[in-house]
Each structure stands twice: as structure tokens, then as C-alpha cells.
């Protein structure tokens, strides 16, 4: 990437792999066809390219080509799955179960379902960020049509016990949908072997382009259907109308092919770098907390709270050199600290102090070493400025202080 | 979000960071905000016998705007008498640092801290 800026925000989006860009280029100008044009060679060629890419994407997650519905991204795929199942299975029931730590695309789609007369149960997670399987099983009723649980969390990288959830859903006869945006292309994801019937994911989290994603919809045993949420020309087997983003889909396919080849090696390398980063902070600084499970976790992510330092302020000490994100309220449009971290049982103060480091395929060890120094110095600087750090050091019980909340 | 040069300068080179002895009669302390809200500001003034603020110190837990607002406040306080100091308005801070709308509360916090420090000093000295 250009300049010296270290990019540790790969959970927000990944850079498009140059090999993906090269594959996409001919599909802007040389091959301009609409994949739905049946009457000329431009259209046939585009359709062929889409079919090939569909195969590459399907192959990455070990499903059939016909089970891939291309969308504009994971947000649309999440919406299509949740609202589409709710509408399709209205005669069976109106109940959906999900987690409080899901992505907003899932939570807001569930919110819409509630407005349309549905019932949604939001299960809490434990300190590690993991679902309580017993609570899930108990929450399923004869009205439940869908369980929606993300594969890996975007903020913490925590991976849910997918196989166990799949078994519960199979036993109870309910559909299992997963937002696997953060997992696909980075760890092995096999929905069929896991009992997942629908799954959303996107290209731009796996070194592909922005603006293209997919919904996997299981075709056999059980045959799953969703009601289209976008009406039009009946593309994508009637489930998602709209001219296919041929260029993007070609890139998505290439990204999937590369991921299949390289994700194991990437993960092996990144887990070492991530652990090095984490360990360095724990050794050099006091009051450092890693948020969420450290065992059931994505290899490239760590979410750390540096206590008594506010996240946005801390980021400002190094954001000319490192790009990360924070669960601090100051970085969110809602002015509330991260609801995901709060759901893990962190106090608001620790949520305000959190920084997410998400590494990627292009992260170099030398960047980790530089980041360790820059961040550790930033934390020390901010603690020197922090009255609550001073009070903590003096042994003041911060819980007993009468704060002037505003 | 792009911040103004002045804000960035106060953030990178904060003025008057430190702690005054709060047990002294000549020192007034204002502590506002809460860790749960993501900002805590402590502002202290040292007042001469003539009633002039001869020193001001701060420590702030918060975002860049909160730190810059408190640094600026301490600069403005020095050399003022208590009545003059009481007139510092949060909107003056907003204007000086070009704070974006979502950060206006940082300036309010600084104004509250100033008022609380003055009040603390006055109470200590029976004024």
C-alpha cells in the first residue's frame, strides 16, 4: 500500500489483491456485456464469466454453483436472508432468534421484521462473546422459523460454536442462517458440513472488490427459498433482481480462488503476528485487557482495552502512522460505546478504551514491530494526561468516586 | 474527521499538564465527567493573594477534542482574575478550536470544569 501508513483495519475492508484487480480489468471495457443479454456474444461472454466466478465462489465454501445468489454485498445478503425467510415461511411461524452481538445489518433487519409483526429473541453472550447453547435450544419454539448467528464477530473476531448450533437447529427443524462476512476466505467455512442453510458473505473482506457479495441458499435437504426483496427482471433464480455486477463478480471469483489456495498459510502467519502484538502490549503495559475469547477466535484480529485511556484520543496519537478502529463512543455516529463489547459484560469505561487491530494478507512483521512502539508510547503518553490513571496509581477506588456525569 | 491545526497542536503539545496540591487553600479543583461517559476532565487553578490565577493545570481522560479544550482552557485562565475567568464561555472554545458539532460537549465540559474549580477555590476561602 502506498506511503508508510500501516493498515490494521482489515475487518473494515481489505485492500483488493492486485491479482484480483488484473482479473477484473478486461471486464470494464473490452467485455462490456450484460450477463442477461441472451441474443449476442457480449452477453454470452459475460454470462460465461459470471458462471465461472460463481463456481469459484461456490468452491471456496464447498457448495454448488446454483446455491450462490450474488448481491451488492453482505448487508443486502443479510437483509435478503432474514426478511426473505420471514416472508417465505410466514405460514410456519414468525419467530427469529439472533444474538445481541450481531452486525447492524442483521439487527436492523430483525428490527424491521418485528415492525412487520414478527417476534425476535435476542440472546445474550457470555464474557467470552459466545452463545449459550442451552439458552438457544430453550428459545426455539414451534413458531421459530430462523436462527441467525454470525460465524465470526467483526469487532472481536470471536467464532461461535457453529457445528453445535447447526446440530440444535437440525434437531429442532429450524433454518440456520449465518452472517459469515468476517470468516469466509480467512478460515475454512463449509456451511453444508456445519448445518448452515443460508449464509451471507462479501468480496471486500477477502481481498476482492467492494460492491459485490453473496447469499448461499441451500437447495436440497432442505430446499430453502427466500422471497426476493428486490423486484425486477428476475435475475439470480428470481431471488435477486438487478443487472449483475459482472466486473465485481469476476473479481469476487478470483478472490475466492486465491483465498482457497492461500488462506491456510495467511492464517498461520497472521496468528503469529497477532500474538506477537498482543504479547508485547501485555508485557510492556499495565492494565491491558484482551476482549472476547482468545481460543475461539479469528487468527488476524485482536480487540484490546487499554484501561484509563480513551480510544479515540489514543488513536489520535498514532493515526498518522497506523489505521485501526475503536469501540469508543467518540468514533461512532451514535455517540454510544460499542454494543458488542458492552454485551460481553465490559463496563462502558473499558469499551471506551478499546482498540481493534485487524491484520491482513499484506501485513508485514516490520509493521507489527513499529506499531508496538507507536501504540505503547501513545498509551503511556495518554496515561500521563489521564486523571483517572493518576487516581488509579494513587490507589483511589474509582467506583467510589462521585462522578459528575453530564 | 479532520481537525483544525489549533486543535491538533493543543492535542500534540498540550499546555499545562499536571497536578496542583489540592489540599492547599490557594488551589481550586474542578473534576467533571465520568469514565463511563468516555471523558473525565480535571482542571486546577492556583490563585494569588491578589485574586489572580497565576497557574492552571489539567489532566484529561478523553478524546482529542476534550484534551485540546482543557489545554486551551488552562492557557486562557492564566493571568485572569476569578470574575474574568467565570466569563469564559464554551462557545469561545468551540470557535477557537473549530470543534465539530459532535464535539461541542467537550467545550461544555471545559467550561464546567472552570466553574467548578472557581467554586471550589471560593468555598475554601469563604468567599
Interface test with B, best of A316, A319, A332, A355 (most B CBs within 10 A): A316
**Over pLDDT 90: what percentage of chain A?**
94
- CATH code of the domain in which B56 resides: 3.90.1010.10
Interface test with A, best of B5, B18, B33, B61 (most A CBs within 10 A): B61
* DSSP H or E stretch at residue B13: none
Q: Note the Cα A246 to chain centre separation in Å.
A: 24
Output the nine-digit C-alpha cell for A254.
Answer: 478470483
Give the CA angle between residues B32, B37, B43 to the nearest 5°: 20
Interchain contact, B60 vs A384, CB within 8 Å: no
Strand partners, B27: B46
Convert the pLDDT of each residue in A272-307 to its tens digit.
999 999 999 999 999 999 999 999 999 999 999 999
Interchain contact, A404 vs B33, CB within 8 Å: yes
Chain A residues touching residue B14 (CB < 8 angstroms): 385
> Which of B11, B38, B112 shows the shortest C-beta gap to A316?
B11
Q: What is the mean pLDDT of residues A84-104?
A: 98
Cα-trace Rg, chain A: 22
Q: Is residue B106 among the annotated active site residues?
A: yes
Cα separations (Å) of A355 from A197, A278, A310, A331?
Answer: 34, 12, 10, 11
Q: Which residues, including other chains, have CB under 8 Å from residue A151's CB and lie 6 or more apart?
A: A159, A160, A162, A178, A179, A180, A181, A182, A183, A184, A189, A199
Closest C-alpha among A139, A150, A146 to residue A224? A146
Residue A336's pLDDT band (cuts 50, 70, 90): confident
Convert the pLDDT of each residue in A136-182 to its tens digit.
999 999 999 999 999 999 999 999 999 999 999 999 999 999 999 99
Interchain contact, A352 vs B66, CB within 8 Å: no
> Which of B60, B63, B109 shows the shortest C-beta gap to A387?
B60
Phi, psi (rounded to 5 degrees) for A336? -115, 145
Residue A3's pLDDT is what? 66
Per-residue pLDDT of chain B (127 residues; tens, 9 = 90+): 579 999 999 999 999 999 999 999 999 999 999 998 889 999 999 999 999 999 999 999 999 999 999 999 999 999 999 999 999 999 999 999 999 998 999 999 999 999 999 999 999 998 8
pLDDT at A1 over 70: no
| Strand pairing category for A198-202 and A175-179 | parallel
Residue A326's pLDDT band (cuts 50, 70, 90): very high
Residue A110's pLDDT is what? 98
Residue A235's pLDDT band (cuts 50, 70, 90): very high
Q: How many other C-beta atoms can be found within 10 angstroms of the C-beta atom of residue A396? A: 12
pTM of the model: 0.95
Catalytic residue among B37, B91, B98, B102: B37
Structural domain that includes position B116: 5-124
Chain B residues touching residue A405 (CB < 8 angstroms): 33-34, 36-37
Chain A residues touching residue B19 (CB < 8 angstroms): 390
Residue B119's pLDDT is what? 97
Give the span between the Cα atoms of A378 and A229, in whole angstroms: 47
Interface test with B, best of A287, A306, A308, A310 (most B CBs within 10 A): A310
Count of structural domains within chain B: 1
Phi, psi (rounded to 5 degrees) for B42? -120, 120
Q: What is the mean pLDDT of residues A99-111?
A: 98
Convert the pLDDT of each residue in A33-59 to its tens digit.
999 999 999 999 999 999 999 999 999
Amino acid at each position: 500500500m502506498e506511503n508508510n501508513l500501516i493498515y490494521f483495519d482489515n475487518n473494515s475492508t481489505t485492500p483488493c489483491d492486485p491479482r484480483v484487480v488484473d482479473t477484473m480489468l478486461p471486464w470494464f471495457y473490452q467485455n462490456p456485456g450484460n450477463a442477461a443479454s441472451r441474443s449476442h456474444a457480449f452477453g454470452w461472454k459475460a454470462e460465461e464469466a459470471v458462471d465461472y466466478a460463481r463456481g469459484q465462489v461456490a468452491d471456496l465454501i464447498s457448495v454448488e454453483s446454483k446455491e450462490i445468489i450474488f448481491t451488492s454485498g453482505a448487508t443486502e445478503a443479510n437483509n435478503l436472508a432474514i426478511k426473505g425467510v420471514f416472508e417465505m415461511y410466514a405460514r410456519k411461524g414468525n419467530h427469529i432468534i439472533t444474538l445481541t452481538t450481531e452486525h447492524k445489518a442483521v439487527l436492523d433487519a430483525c428490527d424491521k421484521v418485528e415492525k412487520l409483526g414478527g417476534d425476535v429473541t435476542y440472546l445474550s453472550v457470555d464474557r467470552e462473546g459466545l452463545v449459550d447453547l442451552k439458552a438457544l435450544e430453550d428459545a426455539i419454539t414451534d413458531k421459530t422459523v430462523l436462527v441467525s448467528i454470525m460465524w465470526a464477530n467483526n469487532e472481536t473476531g470471536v467464532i461461535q460454536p457453529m457445528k453445535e448450533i447447526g446440530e440444535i437447529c437440525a434437531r429442532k427443524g429450524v433454518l440456520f442462517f449465518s452472517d459469515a462476512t468476517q470468516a469466509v476466505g480467512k478460515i475454512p467455512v463449509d456451511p453444508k458440513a456445519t448445518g448452515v442453510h443460508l449464509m451471507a458473505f462479501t468480496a471486500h473482506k477477502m481481498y476482492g472488490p467492494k460492491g459485490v457479495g453473496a447469499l448461499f441458499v441451500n437447495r436440497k435437504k432442505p430446499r430453502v427459498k427466500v422471497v426476493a426483496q428486490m423486484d425486477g427482471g428476475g435475475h439470480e433464480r428470481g431471488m435477486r433482481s438487478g443487472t449483475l455486477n459482472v466486473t465485481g463478480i469476476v473479481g469476487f471469483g478470483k478472490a475466492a480462488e486465491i483465498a482457497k489456495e492461500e488462506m491456510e498459510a495467511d492464517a498461520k502467519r497472521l496468528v503469529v503476528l497477532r500474538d506477537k502484538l498482543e504479547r508485547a502490549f501485555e508485557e510492556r503495559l499495565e492494565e491491558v485487557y484482551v476482549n472476547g475469547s482468545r481460543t475461539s477466535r479469528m487468527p488476524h484480529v485482536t480487540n484490546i482495552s487499554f484501561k484509563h485511556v480513551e480510544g479515540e484520543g489514543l488513536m489520535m496519537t498514532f493515526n498518522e502512522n497506523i489505521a485501526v478502529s475503536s469501540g469508543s463512543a467518540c468514533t461512532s455516529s451514535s455517540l454510544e460505546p460499542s454494543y458488542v463489547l458492552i454485551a460481553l459484560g465490559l463496563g462502558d469505561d473499558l469499551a471506551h478504551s478499546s482498540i481493534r487491530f485487524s491484520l491482513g494478507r499484506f501485513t508485514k512483521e516490520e509493521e507489527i514491530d513499529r506499531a508496538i512502539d507507536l501504540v505503547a508510547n501513545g498509551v503511556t503518553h495518554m496515561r500521563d494526561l489521564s486523571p483517572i490513571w493518576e487516581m488509579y496509581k494513587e490507589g483511589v477506588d474509582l467506583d467510589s468516586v462521585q462522578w459528575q456525569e453530564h | 474527521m479532520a481537525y483544525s491545526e489549533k486543535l491538533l497542536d493543543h492535542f500534540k503539545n498540550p499546555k499545562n499538564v499536571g497536578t496542583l496540591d489540592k489540599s492547599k487553600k490557594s488551589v481550586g479543583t474542578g473534576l467533571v465527567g465520568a469514565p463511563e461517559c468516555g471523558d473525565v476532565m480535571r482542571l486546577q487553578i492556583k490563585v494569588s493573594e491578589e485574586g489572580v490565577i497565576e497557574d492552571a493545570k489539567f489532566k484529561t481522560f478523553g478524546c482529542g477534542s476534550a484534551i485540546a479544550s482543557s489545554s486551551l482552557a488552562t492557557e486562557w485562565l492564566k493571568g485572569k482574575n476569578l470574575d474574568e475567568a467565570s466569563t469564559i464561555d464554551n462557545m469561545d472554545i468551540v470557535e477557537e478550536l473549530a470543534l465539530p458539532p459532535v464535539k461541542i460537549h467537550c467545550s461544555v465540559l471545559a467550561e464546567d470544569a472552570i466553574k467548578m474549580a472557581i467554586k471550589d477555590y471560593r468555598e475554601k476561602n469563604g468567599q
